[in-house]
Chains A and B, each alone.
Chain A
Amino acid sequence: MCQVFPLDLSAYLFYIAKQMKRGELLGSLEHIILLALARLDGGAHGMIVRREIEERTGRNISIGAVYATLERLEAKGYVSSFTGEPTPERGGRAKRLFRVEAAGKRALQVSEQTIRSMTAGLKNRWESI
């Protein structure tokens, strides 16, 4: 990365953001779920992700929305999943654990940078309102 853009990381991220196709940009739920997964380092299943989001943001999202988003993120290559052991308390059903991949981390960085760029200078305006 530094060999291509030795000067500025933000310039690199801006370049990546411009290169990303429209479908590759993160939606708001995708962004939140990727952040939750990044916080729960090392792999987490859907319910843990849902709980983390609820505890941190107060948003009570459905498990279906979490899994549908995780499926989309996996198709984009931002997360990967692996199957855990089935347990009796889950009715003999196996867990599916998700973790953020390098592409997902990059997408998060790009989103972060995009939000930072778009909100730059707005703080003064909001304070004056």
Chain B
Amino acid sequence: MRRNSPPAIACWLLESVVPAPYREAMLGDLIEEYTLRAESTSPLTASRWFWSQACRSVPSMVRSSLRSRDCRISMGIAMGVYIVMAMLKFAADLTISKLVAPEQTTYVVLAPVVFLATSAIGGCVAARIRRGATIFLALIVMITVAL
């Protein structure tokens, strides 16, 4: 960390969660205040203040992001891609089960490979359509696996 430069991880955290219209302004405000505090107190105190602001801002920013139209569009795209992925996986599973008996080792190996392949394709497609949709798609896949 350079002298009088705000904590990089805290900056990254904020950049990830703050909605685009206010990202620049909010980070700029924090960096400006950090510089003032680092000069008037110490860089360590200023860093501690910066981290506290970043951590306390995350819940408000996540709520704000979830309410935004962009977020709803990303969620919709993720759901759509997930449905297509599930259909593809179902079709692939059906084809494999016709070719290989389910109790065979080949089937046991092929089933997770199909799952990983469809997830990867789905992730790429979601990212191509909208970058933010990938996070929601990953969440949906994780919830499905957990259930």
Contact = CB atoms under 8 A, between A and B. Distances in A.
Interface of B is mostly: helix
A53 to B, nearest CB: 14
B25 A95 contact: yes
Interface string A63-84: 1110110110000000000010
Interface residues of B, number: 24
Nearest to A29: B60
Interface string B58-76: 1111011000000000000
B12 interface: no
Contacts of B56: 62, 64-65
Contacts of A83: 25
A89 interface: yes
29 contacts: A45-B29, A46-B26, A46-B29, A47-B32, A47-B33, A62-B57, A63-B29, A64-B56, A64-B57, A64-B58, A65-B60, A67-B22, A67-B26, A68-B60, A68-B63, A68-B64, A70-B22, A71-B19, A71-B21, A83-B25, A89-B31, A89-B32, A90-B29, A90-B31, A91-B27, A91-B28, A91-B31, A93-B27, A94-B25
Interface in A20-74: 45-47, 62-65, 67-68, 70-71
Interface in B14-61: 18-19, 21-22, 24-33, 35, 53, 56-61
A40 to B, nearest CB: 14
